[in-house]
Structure 1
Amino acid sequence: MNDNEVIILGIESSCDDTSAAILKNGRILSNVVANQKVHEKFGGVVPELASRAHQQNIIPVVETAIQEAGIQKNNLSGIAFTQGPGLLGSLVVGTSFAKSFAMGLGIPMMAVNHMQGHILAHFIKGDQTEQPQFPFICMTVSGGHTQLVLVRNYFDMEIIGQTMDDAAGEAFDKAAKIMGLPYPGGPLIDKYAKSGDPRKFEFPTSNIPDFNFSFSGLKTSILYFLQKEMKKNDQFIKENLADICASYQHTIIKTLFKKLIKACRKHNITDVAIAGGVSANSLLRSELERIGKKEGWRTFIPSFEYCTDNAGMIAIAGYYKFLEGQFATQDITPNARLKF
């Protein structure tokens, strides 16, 4: 390998996906994800089962990533891993493996904030020819987080708005569960919404000050709405599934963009990105492009493979930390509630 080549192994284990990626000079060589099907019958992630599955998956996933990249482990320049936020038991598995592997190879390791990784996924070299210019605003939307982040540099990020209670992704999944859809339900709501009328049913939107969000009231409203309608017609959900999904999804997306537009105007930002698992939502992606044209934004949408949790985004964050010499020490510990 050339001395100028920086090759990073990224490890992501914050929730229920075990992932490893190899990145060379900002370009992904491999990005392997092992999903955990065990949680489907429980309707959500069971932390203890997740950590056990990570223990089973971590070695084969890393080995596969190295093989698919066509490199040897001795070619690695450093190892990046998710320190948090996430499920503590899951984070422990990834952190422990990274520390042991880095010590064995005698190479540095970089601790990555999971949410910063989602944002920095926009800087992975690939099909996209353009990248956001600093400063820009990134709306990160996932099962556990909903944030508006002002990004001034690779590691100079400020949360200027966030949910006061539930995340948008959780609001999707909880509504899907109420309607009897299997876990994870967010993508299914997106699927059924495509053939529905987004204005058929009206759900309330929160009126939280500044750039913050709230989705707990919306979750409660759809629960009461469906309970009321099911008393009158026990086939109501089945007969109106597409319209319910479309109307509920429309309300969430409308709430998100109301605050995003307000934040961009206040901070005079014209480069706007989305990130996180919910950024795979088709309406969120199309609305960003539509509103972006109206507002005069340059918009940035990650490839589908970098929307949900993956090690590619951890590797690119680790790459920039490596270049700046931001190395972690062996006494580092995972942090389930890690802040920016």
Structure 2
Amino acid sequence: MATAPWYRGVAVRPYTCGMRVLGIESSCDETGVAVVEAAPHGVPRLLGAALHSQVAMHQDYGGVVPELASRDHIRRVLPLTEAALAQAGLTLSDIDGIAYTRGPGLAGALLVGAGVACAMSAALGVPTLGVHHLEGHVLSPFLSADPPAFPFVALLVSGGHTQLMRVEGVGRYTLLGETIDDAAGEAFDKSAKVLGLGYPGGPALARLAEQGDATAFALPRPLLHSGDLDFSFAGLKTAVLTQARKLGAGLAARQADLAASTQAAIVDVLVHKAVAALRATGLRRLVVAGGVGANRALRQRLDQACVRHGWRVHYPEPALCTDNGAMIALAAAMRWQVGAWPPGGDGLAFDVLPRWPLEAVALDATGTG
């Protein structure tokens, strides 16, 4: 047997046949734990997953309360770990590595996942890896029934992030465009708040939009013809607020129409920019990831556009669009496949990065950072 590499001060076995990764997600208001298994080649597979959403707890406040989120992660992470392992038919002793969300996200919430992951790493003698939350989203479609192949253009629409990226491989990301103010998810949520739809607003607005007329109100499509691949949704939110004030007491009767018009404006911009990115890069494959990627209107429009141009489009399964542990375990497993993990690391110390650009996790041609 080959000598095991020295990693984090602990002798760990070399992984030549495969690797089972436990992933922990705790960046905001979902606690997710999952187990992913990877062979040296091929697409990793999901063995088990468990998720708890804090939506009900934060509804009374109209948004996420960071301290409450952190405390709830503490309560949930170990029971969810047990549930994910049970679904996979495994125990902790079967785990070869542990991944956690290092950032971006809420500092206190991130520290919960990081602390648990690194404690498990020390106890089990296995390596751990802090994963970029957005890298998890970008790679999440690889767990779908129709996984993509590199290279592709990624449309990332997750929470406060709206970005277009050229993705050549794991850790090989080139930013093509991003939002200069509000992201698409924020436009959904803030517009929903104007309409009195409560929290979380985005999914509620999308449901209401199905009952309305998308052409009822002429709302702006910011930067639609800007000639670049950047986004801006702050002006749209302001336009929705202005229209709601004009309607006054009549808003209730026109609520569905305004919701539909708002969604149509957001979708128009996302589709237009995604098509422009594919044309600019010459690539013929699009990956859509993040919470807004579950929006049915967006998927319909992107499907139509890609059929028209002869392109392929790939999405995560709806359950994997929101924050989850599977995407974190997957990102770590795919980094292992390209030789970027393990070894490496900085001893048993850990940190979190609430603000962390995706470019910071880029790999060079040798597979190292």
TM-score range, shorter chain: over 0.9
Any stretches of 5+ residues in structure 1 without a counterpart? none
Structure 2 equivalent of residue 105 of structure 1: 124
Equivalent position to 1:317, from 331, 339, 342: 331
In the TM superposition, residue 66 of structure 1 has moved relative to its aligned partner by 1.2
1:187 correspondence with 2:222: no
Preserved contact between residue 99 and residue 128 of structure 2 (Cα < 8 Å): yes
In the TM superposition, residue 133 of structure 1 has moved relative to its aligned partner by 2.3
In the TM superposition, residue 111 of structure 1 has moved relative to its aligned partner by 1.6
Equivalent position to 1:225, from 236, 243, 248: 243
Equivalent position to 2:183, from 167, 181, 184: 167
Question: Secondary structure of 2:27's partner?
Answer: coil
CA RMSD of aligned residues (A): 1.4
Equivalent position to 1:260, from 263, 274, 280: 274
Preserved contact between residue 142 and residue 316 of structure 2 (Cα < 8 Å): no
In the TM superposition, residue 68 of structure 1 has moved relative to its aligned partner by 1.6
CA distance in 1, matches of 2:16, 2:104: 34
In the TM superposition, residue 3 of structure 1 has moved relative to its aligned partner by 7.3
Preserved contact between residue 110 and residue 322 of structure 1 (Cα < 8 Å): no
In the TM superposition, residue 165 of structure 1 has moved relative to its aligned partner by 0.7
> How many matched pairs?
332
1:303 correspondence with 2:325: no
Runs of 4+ that moved beyond 6 A:
none
In the TM superposition, residue 301 of structure 1 has moved relative to its aligned partner by 1.4
Preserved contact between residue 32 and residue 52 of structure 2 (Cα < 8 Å): yes
Amino acid of the residue matched to residue 50 of structure 1? A
Amino acid of the residue matched to residue 165 of structure 2? V
In the TM superposition, residue 205 of structure 1 has moved relative to its aligned partner by 1.6
In the TM superposition, residue 225 of structure 1 has moved relative to its aligned partner by 1.3
CA distance in 1, matches of 2:66, 2:307: 42
CA distance in 1, matches of 2:229, 2:148: 21
Structure 2 equivalent of residue 122 of structure 1: 141
Bigger Cα displacement from structure 2, 323-332 vs 287-296:
323-332
CA distance in 2, matches of 1:242, 1:227: 15
In the TM superposition, residue 158 of structure 1 has moved relative to its aligned partner by 1.5
In the TM superposition, residue 56 of structure 1 has moved relative to its aligned partner by 1.1
Preserved contact between residue 78 and residue 322 of structure 1 (Cα < 8 Å): no
Amino acid of the residue matched to residue 96 of structure 2? S
CA distance in 1, matches of 2:185, 2:315: 17
Change in CA separation of 1:136 and 1:3 when aligned onto 2, cut-off 3 Å: closer
CA distance in 2, matches of 1:332, 1:137: 32
Structure 2 equivalent of residue 21 of structure 1: 34
Structure 1 equivalent of residue 255 of structure 2: 241
Amino acid of the residue matched to residue 122 of structure 1? P
Any stretches of 5+ residues in structure 2 without a counterpart? 1-14, 39-43, 359-369
Preserved contact between residue 40 and residue 183 of structure 1 (Cα < 8 Å): yes
In the TM superposition, residue 322 of structure 1 has moved relative to its aligned partner by 2.4
Structure 1 equivalent of residue 349 of structure 2: 331
Structure 2 equivalent of residue 30 of structure 1: 48
Structure 1 equivalent of residue 167 of structure 2: 151
Structure 2 equivalent of residue 96 of structure 1: 115
Question: Secondary structure of 2:159's partner?
Answer: coil
Structure 2 equivalent of residue 59 of structure 1: 78
CA distance in 2, matches of 1:102, 1:170: 36
Structure 2 equivalent of residue 212 of structure 1: 230
Preserved contact between residue 49 and residue 83 of structure 2 (Cα < 8 Å): no
CA distance in 1, matches of 2:123, 2:227: 51
Matched residues, percent identical? 40
Amino acid of the residue matched to residue 115 of structure 1? L
In the TM superposition, residue 335 of structure 1 has moved relative to its aligned partner by 0.2
Structure 2 equivalent of residue 73 of structure 1: 92
Residue deviations 1:8-61 (CA, integer Å, cap 9, x gap) = 101000110011001122111111111112101111111111111111111111
CA distance in 2, matches of 1:67, 1:77: 16
CA distance in 2, matches of 1:301, 1:122: 5
Preserved contact between residue 25 and residue 33 of structure 2 (Cα < 8 Å): yes
CA distance in 2, matches of 1:114, 1:307: 12
Equivalent position to 1:140, from 156, 162, 166: 156
CA distance in 2, matches of 1:87, 1:56: 17
CA distance in 1, matches of 2:18, 2:27: 28
Residue deviations 1:173-211 (CA, integer Å, cap 9, x gap) = 111111111211111111111121111111112125510
CA distance in 2, matches of 1:304, 1:132: 16
In the TM superposition, residue 92 of structure 1 has moved relative to its aligned partner by 0.6
Amino acid of the residue matched to residue 320 of structure 1? M
